[in-house]
Amino acid sequence: MAAQSATPDQARLQRARSVQCDVVPWLAPLAILATEDLALPLFFSSVTITGLEHLPQSGPVLLAPTHRARWDALLLPRAAGRRVSGRDCRFMVTTSEMVGLQGWFLHRLGCFAIDQTKPGTASLRFALDLLEAQQQVVVFPEGRINRDGALIKVARGLPRLASLAMTKGMSSVPVVPVGIAYSRPFPRWRDHAALCFGQPLQLEGQGKAAAADLAQRLASAMQSAEEAARHSLKA
C-alpha cells in the first residue's frame, strides 16, 4: 500500500523541525518580560516608536528593518510583537547567530537560520509557511550590522521571498520598511533609541526586474524611515 502523503500542517511541522525552529509557549512570555519590561527600560532613557499606523495588524507581512546594533532584535518585538500586534516577530537570522546558548534561545523563540552564502530551500519554504499562516517575518535586508552610515543596499533575499510568496498564490505581501536609530553608533547605558515604521511597499509584477525594483524602492524607504527615527531622537 502506498504511503499516505503528509498533510499541509504535517509538512509545515516537518520544515519547522528541519530548521530547528519553534516558539516554546512558556519561554516567549518570559523573554518578553526580560526584554521589554527589564532590559530595554533599564538600558535606554527612552524608546520612541513612530509610524505605528503603517504596521498591518493582520495578514502576512515582511518587516524590513535597518540593522544598526544587536539591540535591534529587542526593539522590533517591543514595537511590533505580540503585545502590539498579537503576533510574534519571526526573525530570519544568519547561521552564525544560531550557535551556543544564544542559538538555543533563538531557536525556541521562533527564529530560523539561513546561510547567506548558500541559501537553503528549507529556510525559504519555512518562511513561506509562516507568511501563509498570516505571520510577520523579519528579514534584515542589509544582511549585517551597518554602523558606519554606508549606503543601504538590499540583498536579494527579501525580494526573492516576496516573489516566491506571489508565485505560491499569495497576494502581494506588504513589505514594511523600518528605520532604527540610536543616540550613538554603539549604544551606551541611558542613551536614546527610536524606531519608525514606513509605509508598506508591494512587489509590482513578477520576475527579476520586479524584484530588483522592489529592492531599490525598499532601500530608499528604509533610509527615509531611519532619518525619521533619527529626527525623533532630537525631538
How do residues 159-188 score in pLDDT, each as one tens digit? 999 999 998 888 789 999 999 999 999 999
Contact 32, 82 (CB under 8 A): yes
> Which band of pLDDT confidence, cut at 50, 70 and 90, is reported for residue 2?
very low
The pTM (predicted TM-score) of the whole model is: 0.88
Looking at the predicted structure, is the pLDDT value of residue 67 above 80?
A: yes
All three cell numbers of 114: 539561513
Looking at the predicted structure, is the pLDDT value of residue 233 above 80?
A: yes
All three cell numbers of 110: 521562533
- Percentage of residues of the chain with pLDDT beyond 70: 88
How far, in Å, CA of 38 to CA of 31, rounded? 10
Looking at the predicted structure, is the pLDDT value of residue 207 above 50?
A: yes
pLDDT reported for residue 4: 57
The owner of cell 502523503 is 5
Query: What is the average pLDDT across 51-57?
Result: 97
Among the residue ranges 68-72, 102-106, 199-203, the one predicted with the least confidence is 102-106
Contact 90, 165 (CB under 8 A): no
Nearest to 79 by CA among 218, 181, 197: 197
Comparing 168 with 38, the larger pLDDT belongs to 38
Comparing 176 with 10, the larger pLDDT belongs to 176
Domain 19-234 has CATH 3.30.390.10: no
